[in-house]
Amino acid sequence: MSEKKIIITIDGPSGVGKGTIAKKVAEKLGFSYLDTGAMYRAVALKISNLNINFDSEKELQSILDSTEISFSEDKIFLESEDISKKIRTEDISKLASTLATKKIVREFLVNLQRKIGESGNIVVEGRDMGTYVFPGADFKFYLDANLHERAKRRYLQLKDNDKSIDLETVKKDIEKRDTQDSERKESPLHPALNAVIIDTSDMGKSEVVKEILLRIGGSFK
Provide the strand spans (E) within 50-202. 69-72, 75-78, 81-82, 122-126, 139-144, 196-199
Lowest mean pLDDT among 3-7, 11-15, 74-78, 121-125: 3-7
Neighbours of 87 (CB within 10 A): 23
Q: Which residues pair with 21 in a beta bridge?
A: none
Q: Which residues pair with 140 in a beta bridge?
A: 9
- Tell me the CATH number for domain 7-209: 3.40.50.300
> What is the pLDDT confidence band of residue 219, given thresholds at 50, 70 and 90?
very low
pLDDT one-digit tens code per residue, 50-99? 988 888 899 999 999 999 999 988 899 999 999 999 998 888 988 998 89
* C-alpha 151: how far from chain center: 16
pLDDT one-digit tens code per residue, 91-137? 898 899 889 889 999 999 999 999 999 989 999 999 999 999 999 99
Residue 24 and residue 8 in contact, taking contact as beta carbons nearer than 8 Å: no
* pLDDT for the residue numbered 165: 84
> What is the pLDDT confidence band of residue 3, given thresholds at 50, 70 and 90?
low
Enumerate the domain spans of the chain: 7-209
